[in-house]
Amino acid sequence: MELRSLKELINLEEPAWPYVQEWIESGRNHVEILPVTQKKREEALVKAQVTTRSPMGAIIYETGGILVDHGWLRIYGSGHEKLNRSLPFWNEEALETSLYEVPYLLVADDAIGGFYAVDNGFFGAPQKVFYYAGDIPGWENLDMGYSDFVAAMFDVDFGEYNGSFRWTNWKEDVAELNGDQGIHAYPPYWAEFPKDKERSRKAVPVKELFTLTLIQ
């Protein structure tokens, strides 16, 4: 595979970042755009081999990542201390293979170990975003591409979308996570549990949460 240079990947004529900013401004959710450093964004963009004409490339190049709804959803960028897993390098770590051979591309996760991935053919629906939730083992086809997924996440009502996963002090607990952590619940969300009782929850490495998805 012949890699394109940084200059070839930066599109100055038709950058996608203004479109992403419009999606953020028109959405209902609280959004934090994590600052980017020059070295990290250049390394991540070249590694990812996507241009800034695409929303994915724009997010990698213009952000260290994006936190949505007070950190409930984490969209990968080029890495920041609050989300120190850049899109390309985190995929290689999580899937333990070359970025250019991954069966699907992880693009975001939520604070409780839900993962979002763009299919590379593994699920039989190339370029569609799939979601691994905590309540039903397995990946669900969201029937949308990356751009539509990102735009939707800025506006989705997470209280309804993930409401059954949330607990009384979720904002405080999520705020204490670092970029390499998620919250593990026990019993798991797919197991029957009295609604009037609280599951036990603790912060664990995201890699640990992702490994659990692979053995379901």
The Cα-based distances of 204 to 32, 54, 69, 130 in angstroms read 23, 33, 20, 23
Kindly state the DSSP code that residue 41 receives in the 8-state scheme.
H
CB 116 within 8 A of CB 131: yes
Q: Does residue 195 register a pLDDT over 70?
A: no
- Domain 6-214 listed as CATH 3.40.1580.10: yes
pLDDT tens-digit series, residues 45-60: 999 999 999 999 999 9
Q: Does residue 194 register a pLDDT over 90?
A: no
Arithmetic mean of pLDDT, 70-75: 96
pLDDT tens-digit series, residues 133-154: 876 778 999 999 999 999 999 9
- Residue 200 structure tokens: 């036990």
Parse the chain into domains and list their residue ranges.
6-214
CB 83 within 8 A of CB 180: no
pLDDT of residue 203: 95
Q: How many CB atoms lie within 10 A of CB 65?
A: 26
pLDDT band at residue 163, thresholds of 50, 70 and 90?
confident
